A and B are shown apart, each in its own frame.
Chain A
């Protein structure tokens, strides 16, 4: 079972920042937070990941709370192409035998023109 909780859907106006929350209250010290998204008819796409520090890349920013029990993915200037289902996943990278991702139901983000 997925160890994360996300709202089922969200809307965001084009050009505005999209903030997608995720709760992972049972996260352990070895577990990272990963974000993927799935645009319709495509395979999931890696966005970003982090352990305890905030992270930023060319796609998004990831803000992880100090207690690590929740995080927020930020798309700074949402475009229509960001409409997708976004998945927050916790994964133990210290266990070299455990590579799998456990997907939940995700958040369906719709960007409104």
Chain B
């Protein structure tokens, strides 16, 4: 099966611009998660979708970040306007709804650089 796919793999934007990251989870996975690692820090949870609903968005840093998952398939994470401290690697992960299946599958991430 295809893995979790993230687009783009790299993005360089200027401060104040808008960037949209996309995640295509494994087909049939109801759970979709966003994480990020900013420079020198640990990987941090951002939010969790179950199908199209936001189950937990406690990790979203501020209202400049907007995540959507229309139709319960792919998800987008928009940063508007981007700030320098948003630079980092953004990871998406997915898992089946069946909780007996154990680990998440992560994508390779989008490296965002805000200059």
Contacts and interface: CB of A to CB of B under 8 A. Distances in A.
Interface stretch (A13-21, A23-31, A73-81, A101-109): A101-109
B33 A99 contact: yes
Interface string A67-85: 0000000000000000000
Interface stretch (B11-19, B43-51, B64-72, B75-83): B43-51
Nearest to B47: A100
Given A43-B91, A102-B45, A103-B44, A49 B102 contact: yes
A100 B45 contact: yes
A97 B104 contact: no
A64 to B, nearest CB: 15
Interface of B: 4, 31, 33, 35, 42-45, 48, 55-56, 58-59, 91, 93, 99, 102-109
A97 B91 contact: no
Nearest to B37: A103
Given A49-B102, A99-B33, A44 B43 contact: yes
Given A99-B31, A100-B33, A102-B45, A42 B105 contact: no
A95 to B, nearest CB: 11
B102 A2 contact: no
A100 B56 contact: yes
A96 to B, nearest CB: 8
B99 A93 contact: yes
